[in-house]
Structure 1
Amino acid sequence: MENTINFGIDLGTTNSAIAKFVKGDVVVFNNPLDYGRSTLPSVVYYKKDRIVIGNKAKEYLERDPKNVVGLFKRKMGTSESFQIKSINESKTPVELSAQVLKELKTFVNTGDSLDSVVITIPASFDSIQSNATKEAGKQAGFKQVVLLQEPIAASLAYANMKKSKEMQDGNWLVYDLGGGTFDVALVRIKDGEMKVVDHEGDNFLGGSDFDRLIVEKLIIPKISDEYSFEDLENQMKSASGKYNAKYYSLLNQAEEAKIRLSAVSSAEIIVERMEDEEGNEVDMEITITKSEFNNLIKDSIDGTIEMIKTILTRNSLKSNDIQFNLMVGGSTFIPFVRQHVEEVLQIPSNCEIDPTTAVAVGAAYYAATKQKETSKENSEKKQSSLSIKASYNKASKESEELFAARVQGDTNGLFYKITRQDGGFDSGLKPLSGRINEDLPLVENTYNFFTLTVYDSENNVVETDIEPIGINSGFGISGQPLPEDICLEVDDYDNPGHTRLALIFERNTVLPTKRTLTFPINKPILKGNESDRLWINVYEGPQASLPEANKLIGTIEISGKHVSRDIAKGSDLEITIKISESRDVSVSGYLNMSDQEFKSIFNPKERDTNISLLKGQVLDLSSKLDEEIELATEKEDYETASLLSKVKKEMESVAEEAEKLSDDDVTDKRYQLEDKKRKIAQEIDSATKNKRLQKASENYFEIKAECEALIDASGNDHERKTFNDIIKQEASFMATKSPLKIQEKSDELQAIMGQIRWRTPEFLKGIFAYLMENQAKMNDQSSAKSLIDAGKFAVESQNWDRLREINFGLFDLMPRGSKDEISTKIGFGL
């Protein structure tokens, strides 16, 4: 039984494919129902008695659109579902994707049992979209699903196609423009190792958008000019619209015209079998020219070029630092795409691999380096007198690779031999002991398979549980990069009542990864009190943004009903976050004081985008933008005002498009607008960065001077060292021009000041006096009186440790608003 996965699937927006790694090469399976094609259209048609997937399903788009669904990958990870009339049920993008995956299984004619698979996803897919893809794999019957980013798959396909000597150290790009998504990745090869350094992408840009532009910008206006219709576009795009079925028919024709325009100068679209509102039969033949089509998609392609420029700028590279731009995805068949990108960037377009199957091929190469979990389970169950646990790199560019193994069982009188499958290496019989170390010679640019066999003294084979040894001497990949920052939401002590993001993992961190941080909790948690709650919120998106501009992955709640004892304010909470290569996010919180651990695996599979809520959020963001422009103008900060004014044009466009959305809109416009809204929020944040930077810098230097004076007066050696360590880093964190990084250092200085102050008698007495004056505001007067009496005694007896505890107790009796007021007056978080 093969112990590596070997099967790779490109689960595409418009077309999907499946491939298998077989003894060093990759085989792409042909569609048994569509001779000569190796792809399957990602379209599903439901009839009462059967389900049809692929080309046959597409044929029903015009005849029976209420029962045909396509482009559902674009809604993966959302709460959207598709109402199927014939079965009177709704189907989610996950369920529909599972049907495509099950159909792809029928392509495999090798008799394999498909229980494990690598499935590709766009590099820009967030955690929820990734989890939804894994769920689709599980629903399709795969016991093990490993995710691989599409640009990495394309890179592997290309690198393993070329000979090692043809692959020079340097940088190249993967330009992946598919049917529904776009990714561009910067790939670097150094000393024979391939790594994805950076990426950009748009999950709502692809060939299907070009089809939509043809219909909405060319066909519908021409129909409206000739015939009498009121709001024809909305009547087509609304699920309850009179001409909704015709919309899908025209999209199908637009796709065919787009494909023809790659080879000819014009293409025709027939509009018939519909009446206008005055009862006139529509009968038109609309000609689309290549130049019209190119002009139509130019802005979209220019957008992809801007993403490439962003990557180059971020990595301090110029066009001449890039060897080539590898063109992948069906939409790169469009001549204008290849030519325009090359002309603008002056980077050669590389079209050496089949753009429609490259991703599936790369996924299969990757699958050959991943061990089956089912294989592990079987090996554990397998009974043998000897157990051999092997360790070796499954991908290597060295001429030899070290194979190491630990042997458990009686090895007395036994021997072993390792042979390479091609017969080019034979270790000869060697005495077997508790450990095996062997340098295995590798054939370059191929997969090397070895067999380890154990013999007794009479050369009879002794059964063991070791699997065949496979090592790829072609190009591998050094891990998958994280698409976005992963952050925790923490209190912003400079803005009481507000929060900010603390960076846990930076984008492009190689997965898998793990990190542990410790935070003091900002309020007590009393055992049994359900109203005492602490939330650990994990966000995905730029750390510099506000929490609301990013995507919430998940939350761990710790309340009084969960803790085994009272937890004092300031107690340490240890948070550990792990992210697997397939983007499983595991979070655990450990409370030192109660010796309790709270765990959760965040794998939400859908995100709801309510149209009414979206419209409200867009209005709120518009108001915030207007306020920022007004504030910048009042302060004569014309540079910021100008930047924000440019953003305002985008905001107005989004607001206008959002207002047009009907509640039953059938397109994925809501998700595109949600994405745009989030990006605009980030742009507003970025444009006002200078204002926040100046405030953060001024605040830092004020706190620095105050902290130094306090250390000179009452600090100890440890506090002095901590202070000096921060000051040594000053040039570095100031140079980042990041308000958040500067704020973090201010917080560290505040923490030092807090440690000193909370053991200083004068400060403790001052806090106690302030709290006594505010006794009337406290929630529990009986407890307050008891604590105040005890505090007076502590002052008289100069028991400063006891007075510190009493101050914390009194502080926690204050209403929330008063707590914030005290924090502000004292100058640091309590």
Structure 2
Amino acid sequence: MRTKIDYGIDLGTTNSAIARIENGKPTIKKSDMMMDTMPSCITYNIKKDILIGQSALGKLKTDRTNALKHFRKEKSNTYIEFKRTIGNDSKFLSSNMGKEFSSEDLSAEVLMKLKSFITDEAVKSIVITVPAKFTMVQKDATVRAGKLAGFEHIELLQEPIAASMAYGLNSDYKDGMWLVYDFGGGTFDAALIKVEDGIMKVIDTEGDNWLGGKNLDEAIVDQIILPYMEKTFAINDIINDVDKKEILRDAVKFYAEECKIQMSFKDNHNILTDLGDLPFEDENGEEPYIDIDINQFIMENTFAPIFQKSIDICKDLLKRNNLKGPQLATLLLVGGPTYSPILRKMLKEQITDKINTSIDPMTSVATGAALFASTISVSEEVMEQSRDTTKLQLEIKHEATTVEEEEMVNIKILNEKTEGTIPDKVFADVVRGDKAWSSGKKQISGKATLVDIQLNMGASNTFEVILYDEQGNKLECQPNSFNILQGINPGQATLPYHIALEITDRIQGKDILTALKGLEKNQTLPATGVTKGLKTQKDIRPGMASDEIIIPFYQGDYYAEGTTAIHSTHINEIKINGEDLPSLLPAGSDVEITLKVDRSEQMTASIFFPYLNHTEQQTVEIIQGKSVSKEWLENEIIKAKKIAKRLQEENNSKEVGKIIGNINGIAEQLEHKGGGDSGKLEVQDNLLKELRALDKLDSETEWLKVEKELKDNFYDLDELLNRIKSNGDEGGLKMEAIDTHMEEFRVKIEQIIKEKSVIHAKELIEEIDRLDFNIRDILAGPQMDISLINNINSNFSSTNWKDSNKARTLLNQAIQSINSGNVSSLRPILIQILDVMDRDDAEKVTGKLTR
């Protein structure tokens, strides 16, 4: 019986693998084709058989080649790269099975196939790796796939962290900063890891879920193979037809992939097909073929722009952590494409020459996952299922990982879980797997016994527990072994994204992403985030289900905070209505939100209402992502272009020009890849990235305007005060207090300009203008308030109100006060009226901002 999970799976976009701990060491389990990895490909044949792996990939190649005969894309029953749409509501229709499958369904088939390679025991617990940039939605879908595959206990691990564990166990570098460069088949991840005495801590991660080996294959097709075929054969009708061109591209991708692999190990390669391998005729009746000599110079021109994208991500990761390449202790390569000599040369030139190739880039993730699995205890539910109570049941407690040479193990007999007679005296001998050390016999019982054990350095140490009775007869026990990983400690999981709220910011006048304090990117899990200072926008009446407070939660990347919330990943929202509350919750009431995130990124929210002294607790369920249409994307691209054009007119910077170029490239990408769900999701992700960048630039452009307004308003107020002092007409003003405010304003302005904070600048503008308004009001007397009330009333219908009903009620109160001669009560009412008025309109009415 295993007490630790011990099994790890690398569930890849193009290839997958499984590993387990055997005799203390991680071992890749061979596929049914005796390969270390298996293609993540599935086909359902006409007999309703399910083929997975190499045979399915062969069927895919046949299907794509046969499509050339009539240039008609038949509904396929073979699927690959479905990991790219996991967590989304995309469906894959199989005519042979007469049903649709989700990405989770197909991923579950791959997981079940990998599990079938284990023939000597049932596997109920598993560690599955995911890309560092996977969102909560995608991770939740991966867990669902694992459940569908029959796993009862599932732990997720980021791929670059798994790879670093595979490397770190035998590494001489037990201190320093590591950069994991993980270029997989469909995704790219970079992880910055700090190692101190073998204890690892993830400092920061970055990546691109749409950058990988697939992009290299497509580059060979589009830049080498298709241009050759256009030049050699008459295929203009095919090239100019989007659907036909896509069929041809799919058919020749296999030759591109083979070329990519060969050029990772050779200087030259010939892409060659026999006549008939491409079963169609060109416009002149000739049968096309491919015969292209490839060298490393051609490959470099083709691959360099793609690899550069990944290197730029690494540079940005280092820069935002105040690091440079030479400061790295090592750079770890993960993924098949990292065999490329072109990439390795670029990394040496631009990042560091300390490139490590001691681990197999193809299997390091699965190997590391198994090592990590050896540190995670199997769940109690799974443990109970596998107990053989006829054997002496033991509880063995110990550190799963350590950087020490010696550890203590706590052993006791579980009397209540053991059937039959337990000898009066039981002795345990703990023997290390290499037989070079044993503890000697120690008596154990229902009370804990401590055993000191010695570990081999830099290894996964397996220990056998052998029980004896008083006469020296061996006794069967369960568990009868345990494992301790010496030399490296993976530390705790961290958040790869900000966990954030969508909050309406009255200063900026838009809904922005605001990270919860304590749940920012790279926080160690489990973690707790707290947000205070929020206000309800309307009354919530008790018992009224229609009166709702909606609290949306999002995931945002490193640069997303402060940008428009809809440009980030929506996790879900919590709704609280009048039926949940004991009594009336007035508009403007305080709300405090506490969000707890556990190691598996499951979330529980507590919403506290101080006014009611009442707390609501809810689990934040993760919702599935939605597909988007090509038409919606086209409209969003048009909107993005308009925003970019406006910013270019306001601030013609190189960065705006770069974003405009990127948006134009995304529009082309939509035409090229917008037919399938995966392509549309890729376009959407890329577009949202540019929209976040536009948001940032918009804020920077806004800063120039806000800075001018801040200075102008302060100088206006300062000039007003100088006139008052020079005229000697202070009119009851407390000048000493006003001078103190002005000095405070000067200090704040200096700090705000240094930080370029738009939000703080606008808040200070409000303070300055409020003081300005109050000074003018004191000098003018009650007549000013009366004049403003009458002016607002006359222009009520043309004013933009946040709440017109509330505004009308307040105005009626003010007019009644004027008519009754009670003008002393006007000021509080006027402030409330201005508070429900649009900011621009309030400025027009008062000449100054008053809130």
TM-score by structure 1 length? 0.81
- Displacement of 1:793: 14
- Which runs of structure 2 are paired with 1:256-335 in the superposition (5 Å)? 256-264=258-266, 265-270=268-273, 272=276, 273-276=278-281, 278=283, 280-290=285-295, 291-335=297-341
1:578-616 deviations in Å (ceiling 9; x for gaps):
233333344343334442415132322334232211111
Specify the alignment match of 2:128 in structure 1.
Answer: 119
> Is contact 1:493–1:828 with CA below 8 Å preserved after alignment?
no
SS in 1 for 2:59: coil
In structure 2, runs of 5+ residues without a counterpart are 65-75, 417-422, 722-732, 798-803
More moved, 584-593 vs 510-519: 584-593
Q: Which residue of 1 aligns with 2:666?
A: 654
Tell me the equivalent position of 1:27.
27
Q: Superposed, which structure 2 residues align to 1:433-452 within 5 Å?
A: 442-448=455-461
Name the CA shift for 1:195/1:794 in 2 (closer, same or farther; >3 Å): farther
**1:578 pairs with 2:592:** no
The answer to whether the 8 A contact 1:74-1:668 is kept is: yes
Partner residue in 2 for 1:637: none
Output the CA distance in 1 between the equivalents of 2:816 and 2:465: 76
AA of the residue aligned to 2:657: S
The 5-angstrom pairing of residues 474-623 of structure 1 reads: 474-496=487-509, 498-504=510-516, 505-527=519-541, 528-529=543-544, 532-541=547-556, 542-560=560-578, 562-594=580-612, 595-623=614-642
Q: Partner of 2:377 in structure 1?
A: 371
Say which is worse superposed, 305-314 or 274-283, in terms of deviation.
274-283
Q: Does 1:134 align with 2:143?
A: yes
Q: CA offset at residue 575 of structure 1? A: 1.2
Percent pairwise identity:
26
- State how far apart, in whole Å, the 1-side matches of 2:599 and 2:45 are: 38
* Equivalent residue letter for 1:351: T
Which residue of 1 is the match for residue 56 of structure 2? 57
User: Aligned to 1:555, what secondary structure does the other structure show?
Assistant: strand
Query: Which amino acid in structure 1 is aligned with residue 158 of structure 2?
Result: Q
Greater displacement, 401-410 / 597-606: 401-410
Give the counterpart letter for 1:591 in structure 2.
F
Partner of 2:71: none
Q: Structure 2 CA distance, aligned partners of 1:262 and 1:286?
A: 20
Whichever residue aligns with residue 45 of structure 2, its letter is: K
Q: 1:409 to 1:95 in 2, by over 3 A?
A: closer
Give the structure 2 partner of residue 219 of structure 1.
225
Q: In the alignment, is the contact (CA less than 8 A) between 1:420 and 1:448 conserved in 2? A: no
- In the TM superposition, residue 444 of structure 1 has moved relative to its aligned partner by 3.0
Alpha-carbon contact 1:366-1:476 (below 8 Å) kept:
no
Contact 1:765 1:795 (8 Å CA) reproduced:
no
Which residue of structure 2 lines up, in the alignment, with residue 71 of structure 1?
A: 81
Shift in CA distance, 200/796, structure 1 to aligned 2, threshold 3 Å:
same
For the residue of structure 1 that corresponds to 2:289, the secondary structure is strand
Q: Contact between 1:488 and 1:538, CA under 8 Å: does it hold in 2?
A: yes
Question: Contact 1:379–1:465 at 8 Å: present in 2 too?
Answer: no
Measured after TM superposition, the shift of residue 159 of structure 1 is: 0.9
Please report how far the alpha carbon of residue 296 of structure 1 lies from its aligned counterpart in structure 2 after TM superposition: 0.8
**Maintained 8 Å contact 1:3/1:467:** no
Whether the 8 Å contact between 1:700 and 1:745 is mirrored in structure 2 is: no
For residues 65-104 of structure 1, what are the alpha-carbon distances to aligned partners after superposition, in whole Å with 9 as ceiling and x for unaligned? Answer: 5121111122222333223232343322211111111100
The amino acid across from 1:508 in the alignment is: N
* 2:512 counterpart letter in structure 1: R
Secondary structure of the corresponding residue to residue 549 of structure 2: strand
Aligned-residue offset at 1:547: 2.0
CA deviation vs aligned residue, 1:142-198 (integer Å, no higher than 9, x gap):
122211111100000011133xxx224112221111111111222221133112222
Give the superposition deviation at 1:371.
1.6
The one-letter amino acid of 1:52's match is L
What is aligned with 1:44? 42
- Distance in 1, matches of 2:837 and 2:581, equals 26
Contact 2:498 2:515 in 1 (8 A): yes
Which residue does 2:165 correspond to in 1? Answer: 156
Unaligned runs of 5+ in 1: 633-639
Q: Distance in 1 between matches of 2:352 and 2:807?
A: 75
Q: Deviations over 1:325-382 (max 9, x none)?
A: 2111111122222233223334232111111110000000111111222457739999
The offset of 1:534, in angstroms, is 2.6
Quote the Cα distance in structure 2 between the aligned partners of 1:668 and 1:576: 35
> Greater shift after overlay, 39-48 or 450-459?
450-459
SS in structure 1 at match of 2:231: helix
Partner of 1:635: none
Amino acid at match of 1:513: A
Return closer, same or farther for 1:222/1:469 CA change in 2, 3 Å cut-off.
closer
- The structure-2 alpha-carbon separation of the partners of 1:781 and 1:93, relative to structure 1 and needing over 3 Å to count, comes to closer
Residue of structure 1 in register with 2:724 after alignment: none
**CA drift at 1:64:** 2.8
Correspondence for 1:169: 175
Q: Secondary structure at the match of 1:486?
A: strand
Equivalent pairs, count? 786
Per the alignment, residue 83 of structure 1 pairs with: 93
Question: CA separation of 1:393/1:780 partners in 2, compared to 1, >3 Å: closer, same or farther?
Answer: same
- Assess if the C-alpha contact under 8 Å between 1:62 and 1:246 holds in 2: no
Query: Match for residue 108 of structure 1?
Result: 118
State the secondary structure of the residue aligned to 1:2: coil
Distance 2:123 2:430 in 1: 27
The reply to whether residue 644 of structure 1 matches residue 662 of structure 2 is no
Once residues 153 and 500 of structure 1 are traced to their aligned partners in structure 2, the CA distance between those partners, rounded to angstroms, is 34
Q: 2:839 and 2:475 mapped to 1: Cα distance?
A: 74
User: Could you tell me which residue of structure 1 aligns to residue 210 of structure 2?
Assistant: 204
Given candidates 649, 673, 678, the residue that maps to 1:630 is: 649
Q: Return the alpha-carbon distance in structure 2 between the equivalents of residues 544 and 781 of structure 1.
A: 30
Q: CA 1:75–1:780 in 2, change beyond 3 Å: closer, same or farther?
A: closer
Task: Please give the alpha-carbon distance, in whole angstroms, between the structure 1 residues aligned to 2:182 and 2:452.
Answer: 39
Equivalent pair of 1:173/1:326 in contact (CA under 8 Å): yes
Partner Cα separation in structure 1 for residue 841 and residue 179 of structure 2: 53
The answer as to whether partners of 1:5 and 1:367 remain within 8 angstroms in 2 is yes
- Please tell me whether the aligned partners of residues 18 and 114 of structure 2 are also in contact (alpha carbons under 8 angstroms): yes
CA separation of 1:203/1:738 partners in 2, compared to 1, >3 Å: closer, same or farther? farther
Native 8 Å contact 1:61 1:248 kept in 2: no
Q: CA deviation at 1:215?
A: 1.7
Residues 282 and 288 of structure 2 are in contact (CA less than 8 Å); yes or no, is this contact kept in structure 1?
A: no
Partners of 2:782 and 2:383 in 1: CA distance: 61
> Cα distance 1:486–1:458, how it changes in 2: closer, same or farther (>3 A)?
same
In terms of Rg, which structure is larger?
Answer: 2
Q: CA RMSD in A?
A: 5.0
Residues 31-56 of structure 1: per-residue CA shift (max 9 Å, x gap):
12x13x11110111111321100110
